[in-house]
Structure 1
């Protein structure tokens, strides 16, 4: 079977008249190698097909099947395509990644993902459709608005041709008229015949969804244009809204993440940040797709919106979900807000709405980044007894309300990047809580590959509080000072999957921690232990070697503090895919042990994690590692990659305190290397040497410097 898959687009593209197949619907193209004979129309199955193939003339053909949406549709066609080994080809276009993979199941098949048009090509197509010339705009006043329109189109041919055809039909080609089209694209999609084709194709994305995904699809309408939607908060909100159906053997979070992955596979959302293991961590909905989602959402009274451009979408007197993107709000007097189940407020909103106290039936409250929170607002939410999801992330609040424990149905409390240090005593009643998310991480690179936890991060919990939170799955980050009881209670959380513990200014009570880790061995998937200020205290992570029942199923492992040698059970971590080390003072032997971990994809060696003066990556090690960070190792003078080491490394992120005496060698042995990223204190002489070295590299990797989110490309 030979195949091509194209697309990862949220919207349709067009087939070029010159004969280059772009694929409709932003499509993935897959194909099979068929035979040249057989009754294709009748589609006979394999039973009588072989005799038929011998009796028919031996023909060779190429067939294009456009816009296959389901695996079952492909399966019903494929049996009518006998293979006589004559080299016939079938190209199938689809926007669904699962369909593409099914069509391209033979080892010799290839998959092609079509890319969006470049800015220059988009502009050329746009101008040709309106002015029959790709040279330039007839007047400068149209420049700014045309750029805004092209940003909405996002390089998608169908969007560009539809909107440019609409603009070409306008009698007056002025900035004001074009801006009206740009601002009111939703209504144009609804009413203008020129845009009907685009609307129909986009609406197929909704109509084709299984029932259980339709509410999740409409949920994208509550986010503003160009908003980066994070995976974790989104799936937790879906759960709180009741959109996720339980499935045997899976947690609600696993089911919801499957929903998210399906939207990615269907090209309904565009990936923004893809993690070290290929997992899409954040996404964005294309502007024109968003207009269709908003239209459908308002039509079905799913959500009511006040958008940045001042437009208010309220289709019913009872508002179910309300999202405010602008400070210029005024909910209609005949609209009833007492039925609101979900309330989202944008960081740009400077004042809490006057009706906020009336939202007594809220299940979801998202005020991330809001600057208008105050103590009065926080006290008010203690009367919203149905709340399941609360996010005050990236706000300036420093204290939670005394009666927080009234929220007995609360499942997610996200207070990351706030000044909150303690939970109120009433939090002992939060026995439905599944995710307690605290801490403040700072990204040091634009790619988010390097980050650190602010020293002031974390939250203290009183004895007796943790053991009542029996449903906790995520406890991030809890500060332990002198309460060994808290450490013992953590061992009672048998559903705990993610644990981040901070020891600050304390001699660690290791016995309690070791015992708790032994009790969580079957549930824990992510473990981070940080010892801060260890110069004043003698605690060492070396005690981890004594853990009798280590958490061998973890996929993410992070350690900060003196270690010198890895615990012996680290070599047994067959599932671990990410390891982060800081101030561990490890030696060469540790690199050899880490190199044998079969599924390690991402290794971060931060400040003082490695003590020797050279770091050597030996042959046959780090078989799956795709990303490596080496950050300001104090003693380092040489980094060497031996032939046959790290064969799948794609990204190398580096920062040094000084120029290396013996440099970086063996980069030519990293055959799959795509990017070398320098960050922090960038030493230009080191960067230039690396850039010169990779000029002859067969994979032509980029060499970039990332300083203060300003990215400079060197090769």
Structure 2
């Protein structure tokens, strides 16, 4: 089945339908649209299915589910609150989004008649035809001042854009819109703010990490419209998705600008005093003239050569994502960026394989993310006490590998591709016992001492472990080799001769398991005989495996299962039978 969601133009379907021949083999194309003429164009012989508004009972049920998220299923709502809930839910006229948002507002109130009635009294019950937008606007007005800024910030991203929570949090911190809290990092406080927006139903969670934190989020189209409207009104952000929109922004010295297509064409409309600049798509303009920038986010550019970055001395966040060809010019003196906190090169390839060494002398770095191509490790004599994330760095083939003081480091990625000597890595890991996440990549063997005793029992708090590389020959995988509180495990190219599923099933806290290519090469069959008591998410590459079997009672909490090989026979117990056809999720 192919799903085309929220189609706005007939031309899109006309272009696609020629690539989808009707071979009468049972395949389906499901298309959703807000416009009847587009729906009818898909198949003139059929009447499109119109999604009806919720009836009063379903409206009330949905409202109460959001308003009372912690109430037990068999617990009854007090009669006085139920009467108010019925009145509030009817105001939403069966529209799910309005019910969810209004329920989110109520969920932040005490469970008393007086608090719920204040919300009811706030709504204008006599203004017909604007029920939904009135509810959405009320939800925005009801938020604390710092959450308003966080919400308006979401207008910077294109419609239906999958927003990385970690990137968003780093931007909020760099912008200074997150309040300080004692005994909490700014990132932790920002994460709480994001969860509060979710509770108020202003943000939708797309996926979560194994530890429960938000991984990706998005904003409903109508809520994004609200954020754009309020953002423009308050001179918080200007968005340029279409050429005609520029006229509305010509005389505004906006603090933040988001160019979401044809960036080079729109840049002339952006004030040189802008503090944040978001560039999505092709045609990257000269950004170095915006000397007051705190945030520079570039997404989806095929190739770019960074010039004049050192002029942006106020820059705190630099993100270049999903770029296939990135090069730092010779005159790119990063040591001048004394305020830089985050360098995010997620999904970006460095053409010369490294970043200027001057980066490490800034003294304010909190996150350095270079996952596609590893960079040289920082010298040991620089100040990186604020650093929390460092991935990936190349590790030299020496007996002693040192990093500067990184006492706050929580996530580390090491690339030891052509390794023959692991003494330096063992020594380095032995000096960082407070890590929450470790990722290790190599094209050679991973010696046993990397995992045990270096990580066990030293890494009692380790939550995530990723190992890419062959395990030493003759090594038998055992559950005791891994830290006890591990909740996410990724293995790649392990080339294990023994089926690992029995031992992995003994990891009592494991919630997410990813097994990539050539983890097991000892046979044609893999069996999960027991265990995995809290596993929720599993991805497995089954190339070369004829059958994958899960016994009765195994993986009782499983919610998501993905495999990459439709030829593999999946033998699932009755409670997991719905995963038997799961290919690519």
Q: Choose which of 380, 403, 426 in structure 2 pairs with 1:514.
A: 426
Provide closer, same or farther for how the CA distance between residues 326 and 278 of structure 1 changes in structure 2, counting only shifts above 3 A: same
Partner of 1:647: 556
Q: Does 2:260 match 1:325?
A: yes
Deviations 1:561-607 (A, max 9, x none): 23233477535422x11111122233658534322222211112222
In structure 1, the partner of 2:66 is: 28
Equivalent of 1:546 in 453, 457, 465: 453
Residue 365 of structure 2: which of 418, 429, 433 is its match? 433
The one of the two structures with greater contact order (alpha-carbon pairs below 8 A, sep at least 6) is 1
Change (3 A) 1:483 1:195: farther
- Could you say which residue in structure 2 is the equivalent of 1:632? 542
- Check if 1:96 corresponds to 2:96: no
Deviations 1:424-480 (A, max 9, x none): 23223122111111123xxxxxxxxxxxxxxxx322236447x53232211111122
Q: Aligned ranges for residues 104-123 of structure 1 at < 5 Å? A: none
Kindly tell me: are residues 195 and 653 of structure 1, through their superposed partners in 2, closer, same or farther at Cα, counting changes over 3 Å? same
CA shift for structure 1 position 68 = 7.8
Q: 1:255: which partner in 2?
A: 189
* Cα shift readout 1:30-56 (whole Å, capped 9, x = no counterpart): 4752678xxx69xxxxxxxxxxxxxxx
Instruction: Mark the runs of 5 or more structure 1 residues left unpaired by the alignment.
Output: 1-12, 42-61, 70-90, 104-192, 441-456, 677-702
Contact 1:23 1:29 in 2 (8 A): no
- 2:290 aligns with 359
Q: Secondary structure at the match of 1:367?
A: strand
Measure the CA separation in 1 of the matches of 2:303 and 2:495.
Answer: 45
CA contact (8 A) 1:410 1:430 kept: yes
Contact 2:377 2:403 in 1 (8 A): no
Superposed displacement of residue 525, structure 1: 0.7
- The TM-score with structure 1 as length reference comes to 0.62
Gap regions ≥5 residues in structure 2? 1-50, 90-98, 112-126
Could you tell me whether the CA contact under 8 Å between 1:650 and 1:675 is conserved in 2?
Answer: no
Distance 1:637 1:23, change over 3 A: closer
Contact 2:388 2:410 in 1 (8 A): yes
CA contact (8 A) 2:310 2:334 kept: yes
Partner residue in 2 for 1:668: 573
Q: Give me the whole-angstrom Cα distance separating, in 2, the residues matched to 1:342 and 1:481.
A: 37
Question: Per the alignment, do residues 308 and 35 of structure 1 end up closer, same or farther by CA in structure 2, a change over 3 Å counting?
Answer: closer
SS at match of 1:397: strand
| Aligned partner (choices 458, 464, 474) of residue 374 of structure 2 | 458
* Aligned residue number for residue 413 of structure 1: 343
Per the normalisation by structure 2, the TM-score is: 0.75
**1:431 counterpart SS class:** coil
Where do residues 20-419 of structure 1 align in structure 2 (5 Å cutoff)? 20-21=58-59, 28=66, 30=68, 32-33=75-76, 63=83, 65-66=85-86, 94-96=102-104, 99=107, 196-275=130-209, 279-308=213-242, 310-312=244-246, 313-314=248-249, 317-327=252-262, 337-348=271-282, 350-353=283-286, 356-371=287-302, 373-374=304-305, 378-395=306-323, 396-399=325-328, 402-419=332-349
Structure 1 residues 561 and 228, CA gap change in structure 2 (3 angstroms): closer
CA shift in 2, pair 1:332/1:484, >3 Å? closer
Q: How many residues align?
A: 497
Q: Is the 8 A contact 2:439 2:466 kept in 1?
A: yes
Structure of greater Rg = 1
Counterparts in 2 of 1:15 and 1:521: CA distance versus 1, 3 Å: same
Equivalent residues of 1:610, 1:633 under 8 A apart? no
Q: C-alpha distance in 1, partners of 2:223/2:241?
A: 16
Alpha-carbon distance change, 336 to 394 in structure 1, aligned in 2, over 3 angstroms: closer
Q: Measured at CA, do residues 95 and 588 of structure 1 come closer, stay the same or move farther in structure 2, by a change above 3 Å? A: farther
CA deviation map 1:228-251 (0-9, x unaligned)? 222111111001100112222322
* Cα distance in 2 for residues equivalent to 1:277 and 1:97: 26
Once the two structures are TM-superposed, the CA of residue 394 in structure 1 deviates from its matched residue by: 2.1
State the 1:484 CA deviation: 5.4
